[in-house]
Amino acid sequence: MSTPISSPVTDLLEAQGIAFEVIEIPLTEDKKPVRNLEELLSSQGHDPKSVVRSLLFKTGSDNYVLLAVAGGGRADWGILRKHLEERKLRMAEFDEVPEATGYVVGAVPPIALPDSVTVLLDESVTKFDNVVIGSGVLGYALGLTSADLQKVMADVDRGTFVKE
């Protein structure tokens, strides 16, 4: 399978024999992803709510946690703190994201992350047959089946970590 991009994410998926679609996301002049991503995805036959957002948090004990969540739900801070057994939790700062994950904001995937990042998979991902994830390369996303994503993420904690 020849792809126009290469990243630890595409390498991992190819190594596991998982089919994926490369989705080009045009960048603005200042190298930021277009703001009308939902419209772009809809025009290509993807459900905009199927985008798996990779939300990075920093705990009070200075650990990073990435929550993979689909749809429009918002992180439930209380549930996250309880699950992680942390009293303090905050969103990671912009400059902490590449430092912790190895990827720039806008391209962070829920897979192929450093072992130092704890990953949580929200059950919202199971509500979609197909999902769109960060590719690890700014300007591109990857489309794959939700079942395949869950297979790759089989070793991470799963639960309901958002409120609709």
The verdict on pTM exceeding 0.75 is yes
pLDDT value of residue 32: 63
Q: What is the pLDDT of residues 46-73, one digit of tens each?
A: 888 999 999 999 999 999 999 999 988 8
- What number is the average pLDDT over the span 97-126? 97
The CATH number of domain 8-163, selected from 3.90.960.10, 3.40.50.10890, 3.40.50.1370, 1.10.10.10:
3.90.960.10
Mean pLDDT of 127-136: 96
Tell me how far apart the alpha carbons of residues 122 and 9 are, in angstroms, rounded to a whole number: 19
pLDDT level of residue 31 (50, 70, 90 thresholds): low
CB 119 within 8 A of CB 113: yes
